[in-house]
Amino acid sequence: MRLFAALPVPDEIAEPLLGLQHGVPGARWRPRENFHITLCFFGDVSDPAIAKELDEELSRINAPALHLELGEIGVFGGREPRALWIGFAQNPALEELADACKQAAQRLGIKIGRKSYLPHITLAYCRGTLDVDAARFMERTAGFIAPEFEVDSFALYRSHLGTDPARYVPQAHYILNSF
């Protein structure tokens, strides 16, 4: 089972993001149901007992609800764009929650990649997109602003590959403490 922890994206944010999704050759725009903010990618957890323990560990995380503000649009992949995404204003509480998910997994022996955490919502995966087209997208969307928003839960998702788009199915929801 391919598992990851992520925050859901509320409708009031998803809607304006959907409005950005046009005009980039080669972009495979993510549908609304695939929008999420990854906290930690756990990879393939093949042992159901470990998956159950991971669920229990995540349910024990004691963290506050998050006040989030979108940041800049970015591109992964440089000269060969792989993904278009929108980031977040710096947010220590978000980083702490991501770190708590990572530590929960590591306590169970799940290996987590060493890349530093960069919270984002993926808008598109790219196939054959030119860097100039990605740069034009960044220019066109530079003035994008969306209201701050609150998220009061996160979820453990199972990722089903093999279709495009992949299917992300929530397995469990975890409540964050209200303000």
Residues near ligand 3AM, by CB under 6 A: 4, 38, 41, 113, 120, 122, 159
Kindly tell me which of 168 and 177 has the beta carbon lying closer to ligand 3AM: 168
If DSSP states are collapsed to H, E and C, what string results for the chain? CEEEEEECCCHHHHHHHHCCCCCCCCEEECCHHHCCEEEEEEEECCCHHHHHHHHHHHHCCCCECEEECEEEEEEECCCCCCEEEEEECCCHHHHHHHHHHHHHHHHCCCCCCCCCCCCEEEEEEECCCCHHHHHHHHHHCCCCCCCCEEECEEEEEEEECCCCCCEEEEEEEEECECC
Name the residue with the smallest CB distance to ligand 3AM. 41
Kindly tell me which of 38 and 129 has the beta carbon lying closer to ligand 3AM: 38
Least separation in angstroms between residue 47's CB and ligand 3AM is 19
Least separation in angstroms between residue 25's CB and ligand 3AM is 21
Kindly tell me which of 166 and 177 has the beta carbon lying closer to ligand 3AM: 166
Least separation in angstroms between residue 40's CB and ligand 3AM is 8
